[in-house]
Structure 1
Amino acid sequence: MTRTLILRPLSADAFAPFGDVLEIAGAPDKIINQGLCGRFHDRAAMDFADGRAGISLFQSEARSLPITLDMMERHPEGSQAFIPMTADPFVVVVAADKDGAPHDPQAFITAPGQGVNYHRNTWHGVLTPLASPGLFAVVDRIGEGPNLQEHWFDNPFQITH
């Protein structure tokens, strides 16, 4: 039996239990570079049990709706930020934890200029761009030891508009 998740716009309030929305909101915290650049300071709480922050580049194949959600993952040792390198939307899926498994998934679609930072140990879907080239800068934990847990659903979800 397939269950349905309806995409809704990504907002900081709706996403707050799972992480940070990376976007320009409000006035800049500081004006820099001879008055030509607004700095929106410290927009994500990066959190690592050990190791260090690293920046990697991910290039993912584009998907089209509806999308089957049959697996979610989490990273118990560190937060993970996805910063798109294009203005194209991508799908963000998150879920609360219940007894060590994702519970009550929620699906969001980003607006241009939005990225996300998943809190450490937050269940989330895989990188799901809706357009090519699907290029992202990813800031996450670089360190020894396992930092990935996967959960496969017995009954997958279909993500749609």
Structure 2
Amino acid sequence: MLPSSSANKVYHWKLNHFPSASSEGIPQELSEDSKFVPLNPDDPIYGPPALLFLGFQVKEIVKIQQLLKELDGEFLEVIFCTEDMINRSLWEAMHTGQPNLEAVKVAESLPRICFLSGLSGEEMTMFIDAFPETGLEPVVFAALVPNSADKPLQELIEEIMGDHEMLTAK
């Protein structure tokens, strides 16, 4: 938890990567039939500085924290999805305090999704580009945005995985 004196401080990650997530190469049917919005490096910051992980095991925290340290992203709150979060809004889930991550009982049988919050588009792109370096299993990334903040996590999981399947279908 950040000290209250630095709560309003703006954080920036070291720029180790050039942004590469864009709308180029997105199938037209995906952009028409889904709620998928490409990541833009100029996207404004929205929500608390946090990462919400679905479908992850608590033991993966070490590699996640190592990546955050390398990116100067240690100011981000790491949150694991629990069963009681699934029917709550994404906004509520992103504001859940988990001071002892090792004691968290994570929700089982969820797809691997990482919700990013409180980061600029450029910072999100850096995290997404660097994630494969952790050696962890692949994950679908999504950002907390105003039009998804009040939706239940269960609904967002279905939307995101539907869009992901359309995007990765050959």
Q: TM-score range by the shorter chain?
A: under 0.3
Question: Greater strand percent: which structure?
Answer: 1
TM norm structure 1: 0.26
Q: Which of 1 and 2 has higher RCO (CA within 8 Å, sep 6+)?
A: 1
Question: Greater helix percent: which structure?
Answer: 2
TM norm structure 2: 0.25
